[in-house]
Amino acid sequence: MTTMKKYFPLIVLGCLAMLPLIGLSDYIMHIIILVLMWSVIGMAWNLLGGYCGQVSFGHAAFFGVGAYSAGILYYHTGITAWWGMPIAVGAALLVALGIGFISLRLRGPYFVLSTLAIGEIFRIFAENLEEYTQGNLGIMIQQRSWVEKAPYFYIILGIAALTFVVVKIVAESKWGYYFVAIREDQDAAESLGINSTLFKTIALSLSGVFTGIAGAFYMNYMGYIDPGIVFALGEISILTVMVVMVGGVATYWGPIVGAVIMVFFSELIRSLPTVGAAHQTLFGILLIVIIIFLPNGIVGDFPKLLRLFGIGRKP
Amino acid sequence: MAPHIELLLQTLIAGILLGGLYALIGLGMALILGVMRIINLAHGDQMMIAMYIAFFGYDLFQIDPYLSIFIAAPALFLLGVGLQKFLITPVLRVESILPHNQVILTVGIGMVLSNLATVFFTSDYRSTPVSYATTAWYLSDYWKDAPIELSLSLPWSVSFVFSVAITALLWFFLGRTDTGRSIRATAQDLDAALLMGVNVQRMRMLTFGIGSALVGAAACLFIPIYYLYPALGKQFTNIAFVITILGGLGSVEGAIVGGVILGIFESLTSTYLGMGWAPAGRFIIFVLVLIFLPGGVASLIKKKRFAK
Amino acid sequence: MSLLQVNNVSMFFGGLAAVSNVSFEVKKGEILGVIGPNGAGKTTLFNMVNGFYKPSKGEIFFKGEKISGLRSYQICKRGMARTFQVVKPLQRMSVLDNVIASAFVRTNSKSEAEEIARETIKFTGLTADMSSISKGLPLGKRKKLEITRALATRPELLLLDESCAGLNPSELDESIEIIRKIKEKGITIMVIEHHMKVIMSISDRIVVVNYGQKIADGSPDEIGNNPQVIEAYLGEAHHA
């Protein structure tokens, strides 16, 4: 590995760390914070979906549980919602073990469907258990910690950097090999001494915990959550899948690239006057196009992408 | 005592009628899953589009929704064949790390369909208030001294009868015609079917077309008794896949039984727990089936056969 | 000394018995051949021994411990490895990574796993293809990879399922040579093979299976002269 490649992540981190000093507008900082948050969710999903091959359409369950860990703590005890983050770790872990017990025995598309169903079950319970969650009224934080964006920026940047490092370390370790082996051929993996249930659960747990942390951050940053937002199938679960599929499954930078594209794309379209209402259609079309032409995402299918634009050599 | 029995019986009747319709919805997805191993998460959105076809048929041209079956079903058939030919086949050929691309593709298709519907048709609730919408038969009209009162709504009954008729037609088609048998062969063993000269590509397109047409017909049967809005598609997709899993692994008979079971279950929950719990109930059944009876009803039927 | 003991095992699928009442043992250090016509139940037998299927009836003992009912990964940890008849490479991983993944069953350290992997790859002669992505390899090399992976788990008993099928003559000789070297290392081997020449020459003992039942058990000579065995094979040829 060349020195440049080895230090690339650090260089990126360094540049990002200096962003608040440039004096960008609040709106742009908000966008960047969203990009970083989605990078975390994307990297977390990628660990389970890209590396371990278990595609979840229900990650909103973890995000929402994380958000509500912070929200419920704040609402019922008045303690600052930031303590929701460590609680979110525990809560997300429990949820992961529960989901794992129900769903991991299922193969392929049945696993996918069960995660979708479980995500929706969480949403419906959150809507109905009004004593705890305030139902559709949602939870609002009366006094947000800071007015400026910079502190939030550094917090999410730190979380994103941590997630990146953890994913990298895991992917290059025994666990990483085991995840990929399970993805490639679960039966062969079992015959090689790999307890696939255990390792799928580990992948699910890691994935869930980081997504939960992102959820807790969201509660603190946005100041308002309700079940329709944080447990949303389209805006959270499916968007997560899109972020990673567009960016590149099973790559380190894929989810980050995907987050940049999806957030920018989303904001851009929403601001256009007439086309705005059709943003889901455009998302859908983007998803279809990527799935057919660049199924491994921009980073994963980069050579193919170059060829499509006429650059690069033919194989 | 009598009012309780009356309520229960009425609920069961409603459940069976609903179940018949549900079965038709689930059948389309089960067929596609069984033959092509494809989970079509745009299934419900296709039905929603067909409902709009029926609605506009009624609204603009005064065509009775039941007659719209002859418009919507073929239209959906073509839509299905088109989707299969231009989107699904390419995706299946593509080389990728994750094998679930096909599911993700149908999610994308569903998003496009439902969002286009919202943009063009708005989210307003629509309905087809046909003249016979509230007509019903009452038990007391036929049996003067009946201890309880039961009513049978006309549109519900007509829809149920049509649904049964279409299902029977499908059964006959799959069981007795050559094309039907070829489709079943493709579902059972792709390679064997190829070796026996079945044009697998065509069978797959036909299957997707038929599955879509079934849901197109179901749409016309639903619109007289329900109201329509774009997000309804999602609900129907959920219903379809719960029935498919409940029925088991792409089995047609299982889907029929599964549909009726779900219909009765939802009717009971509606009456005794309240309407809001129906969506939750669906998912809970789904998860319970996955845990306790992963093969669905079909696996129970199979066990009985082997035990003989 | 008996390394593997298979007692009266049967396997039912639906109402059909794929294997019925089969018993045999594998002695430490020997090569046991398993032969029989297509569909006789040989791979099903392997799948039961290896934990892929739980026997419907009967028990299997490995090193004196009952293993029938354990999952494959538990059995692998206890010292049994297998290859698959239809090879299952971890497709998007390189040859080296495939073997590293299997070596991890004995260690948690990546460097140690890599060392074991390189050593095993050298043993089977795949060093030149170490960095190739396994998906692009020709069949002969993929079969070698199957064996290499299984060996990297440091097994005491190795189950080879038709590792010689589809090989050209020089690959076949290489394969036989590898099997001999494995035996020299003290690893016990159970082989399913269709190549009569191969199996007669390398096996110490042979078990013959037909229609899910064991019909003969003995040395290659005894088997070669067994009338039931001859009929089972000739009978097949007659109907062809």
Distance (Å, rounded) from C-alpha C38 to C-alpha C212? 11
| For the ranges A212-216, B57-61, B267-271, C169-173, the one whose mean pLDDT is highest | A212-216
Of the candidates A266, A268, A269, the one whose C-alpha atom is nearest the C-alpha of residue A235 is A266
Between CA B48 and CA B111 the distance in angstroms is 12
Chain C residues in contact with A195 (beta carbon < 8 A): 71, 73-74
At residue C234, does pLDDT exceed 70? Answer: no
Structure confidence at residue A62 (pLDDT): 96
Whether A294 contacts A305, CB under 8 Å: yes
Angstrom distance (rounded) from CA A110 to CA A119 = 14
Residues 188-247 of A with CB under 8 A from C: 188-196
| Per-domain residue ranges of chain A | 25-308
Q: Identify the closest residue of chain B to A235 by CA–CA distance.
A: B111
Q: Does A78 touch chain B (CB under 8 A)?
A: no
Name the pLDDT band for C237 (thresholds 50, 70, 90): very low
Q: How high is the pLDDT of residue C83? A: 92
C-beta separation of B111 from A287 below 8 A: yes
Q: Tell me what percent of the residues of chain C surpass a pLDDT of 90.
A: 40
Whole-angstrom distance, CA of residue B49 vs CA of residue B232: 10
At B134, is the pLDDT very low, low, confident or very high (cuts 50, 70, 90)?
A: confident
C189 strand-pairing partners? C31, C158
Reported as a single tens digit per residue, the pLDDT across B76-121 is 999 999 998 888 888 887 777 777 788 888 988 998 998 898 888 8
Domain locations in chain C?
2-88+154-234
What pLDDT was estimated at residue A276?
65
Report pLDDT for B305: 64
The hierarchical CATH code for the domain A25-308 is 1.10.3470
Q: Do A287 and B291 touch (CB under 8 A)?
A: no
Cβ neighbours of C89 in A, within 8 Å: 185, 188
Amino acid at B169: L
Q: Which residues of C touch B97 (CB under 8 A)?
A: 92
Report the 3 state secondary structure along chain A: CCHHHHHHHHHHHHHHHCHHHHCCCHHHHHHHHHHHHHHHHHHHHHHHHHHCCCCCCCCHHHHHHHHHHHHHHHHHHCCCHHHHHHHHHHHHHHHHHHHHHHHCCCCHHHHHHHHHHHHHHHHHHHHHCHHHHCHHHCEECCCCCCCCCHHHHHHHHHHHHHHHHHHHHHHCCHHHHHHHHHHHCHHHHHHCCCCHHHHHHHHHHHHHHHHHHHHHHHHHHHCEECHHHHCCHHHHHHHHHHHHHHHCCCCCCHHHHHHHHHHHHHHHHHHCCCHHHHHHHHHHHHHHHHHHHCCCHHHHCHHHHHHHCCCCCCC
pLDDT tens-place string over residues B269-282: 888 877 667 777 78
Q: Which pLDDT does position B306 carry in this prediction?
A: 59
pLDDT tens, B147-182? Answer: 777 778 888 888 888 888 888 888 888 888 888 888
Check if the beta carbon of residue A255 is closer than 8 Å to that of residue A39. Answer: yes
C-alpha to C-alpha distance for C143 and C84, rounded to whole angstroms: 9
Structure tokens at C14: 């639906």
DSSP codes joined into one string, C54-86:
--SEEEEEETTEE-TTS-HHHHHHTTEEE--SS
Interface test mutation site (partner A, options B36, B97, B103, max chain A beta carbons within 10 A) = B97
Measure the CA–CA gap between B252 and B173, rounded to whole angstroms.
12
Between chains, do A284 and B99 touch, taking CB under 8 Å as contact? no
Q: What is the mean pLDDT of residues B257-269?
A: 88
Q: Which residue of C has its CA nearest to B302?
A: C14
Write down the pLDDT at residue C187: 93
Q: Tally C-beta pairs within 8 A across A and C.
A: 75
Residues whose CB is less than 8 angstroms from the CB of residue A4 and which lie 6 or more positions away in sequence, other chains included: none
Model confidence at C145: pLDDT above 90: yes
Both tokens of residue A26? 């609040």
ipTM for the predicted complex comes to 0.88
CA-closest candidate to residue C30, choices C2, C67, C61, C62? C2
What pTM was estimated for this model as a whole?
A: 0.87
What band does C96 get if pLDDT is binned at 50, 70 and 90? very high
Query: In chain A, whose CA is at the least distance from the CA of B83?
Result: A288
Per-residue pLDDT of chain A (315 residues), as tens digits, is: 566 677 888 888 888 888 877 878 888 889 999 999 999 999 999 999 999 999 999 999 999 999 999 999 988 888 888 888 999 999 999 999 999 988 888 777 778 888 988 898 898 888 888 888 888 888 888 888 888 888 899 999 999 999 999 999 999 999 999 999 999 999 999 999 999 999 999 999 999 999 999 999 999 999 899 998 999 888 899 899 989 988 988 899 999 999 999 998 888 777 777 666 677 888 888 888 888 888 888 888 888 777 777 765 555
CATH class of C2-88+154-234: alpha beta
